[in-house]
Copies of this chain bind each other. A is one copy, B any other.
Amino acid sequence: MNLGRITGQVRIVGAGLLGASIGHGLRAKGVDVILHDASRSNATLAIDYGAGRAPQSDDAPTLVIVAVPPDVTAEVVARELAAWPRATVSDVASVKVGVLDELIALGVDLDRYVGSHPLAGRERGGASAARADLFIGRPWVVGRGEPFRRRAVEDVVIELGAVPVAMSASEHDNAVALISHVPQVVASLLANRLAGASEAAVALSGQGLRDTTRIASSAPELWVQILGANSGPVTQILRELQTELGVAIDALEAPDAPGSRRAIAELLAGGNVGVARIPGKHGTSKHFSQLVVMVDDKPGELARLLTEIGEAQVNMEDLRLEHSPGAQFGLAEISVLPEKEALLISELEARGWKIAETLA
């Protein structure tokens, strides 16, 4: 029985992380999911995990989702459009312009095609890593197309708990270059500088460096593909970055020359403006007050803290536990609505907690 808004069959081509996760999510909503993969063993594995069923001779999918590697996506989309003359066909490739250009070059009629891209993933891939909840709360870009074809794709996005975002292929590729692909390159460039550093130097590292370089631990194979497929928008932004880096170096080479300090200040002030635009929790860029509470590094202590925050009827907007190097306790950084800060401080101090600091 189908509990949701999707009444027809959904055929998924490609039983990797994304394809199998979509399968799990839709089956959980009672959708009849047909799973196909060029590799019989991939398909069998995903079906064994419950991501869908094997194709049958009488299949009549109303929607086909192509979830194969970017370099073969266009070819498979074209084949599926031909195989199912009435079905809507979509794909989930992480770069969209290249796919569209290939389809046009293949002379395919695009009336029934709507490209898409869920901004969701994991550090591991494959059907065995697939999860029905992979897309919950994540943005999912849905491209241009016939309104009712787009609606068919958006129904899947909504069923899977994701948030549909309408964008053209080039809008999408420029956006992900900026918010995902360039940060990856920059984090890797920065982390590369650490490879030859002394032990003594890296021992001074703090949370700032950890955060700035965290994504540099991503898998090279995957990122070589992504960066190669979106090289145009990525290089354009990297060139802007290169220009500003040159300005910064010139200013720092002669910090006392006229205009140097102003140039450095403008770089830093521009960074303040940019970072303030990034949405935080629930897609807002709202600012919260932060308390840092000292917590003994033993089981149950943090739980006790959070229980008592709950008793104070204060909802944490965010929480982060940082351990000071060498210290036998952690610092719990708690974000709360500004109007709750004073209440929480008094409640916690009354219960004997040590507030290490409060950040504006």
Contact = CB atoms under 8 A, between A and B. Distances in A.
A282 B326 contact: yes
User: Which range holds the interface residue count of chain A?
Assistant: 35 or more
A325 B282 contact: yes
A81 to B, nearest CB: 27
Interface of A is mostly: helix
A210 B211 CA distance: 9
Contact of A180 (B119, B165, B208): B208
Interface stretch (A36-44, A107-115, A259-267): A259-267
A220 B268 CA distance: 5
Copies of this chain, count: 2
A75 interface: no
Contacts of A190: 182-183, 186, 241, 271, 274
A106 interface: no
Interface stretch (A24-32, A53-61, A133-141, A147-155): A133-141
A213 B176 CA distance: 16
A314 B249 CA distance: 48
Contacts of A272: 191, 216-218, 220
Interface of A: 119, 122-124, 129, 131, 133-134, 136-139, 141, 161, 163, 165, 167, 171, 174-176, 178-180, 182-195, 197-198, 200-206, 208-218, 220-221, 223-224, 227-228, 231, 234-235, 237-242, 244-246, 248-249, 252-253, 255-256, 260-261, 264-265, 267-283, 294, 297-300, 302-307, 309-310, 313-321, 323-327, 329, 354, 356-357, 359-360
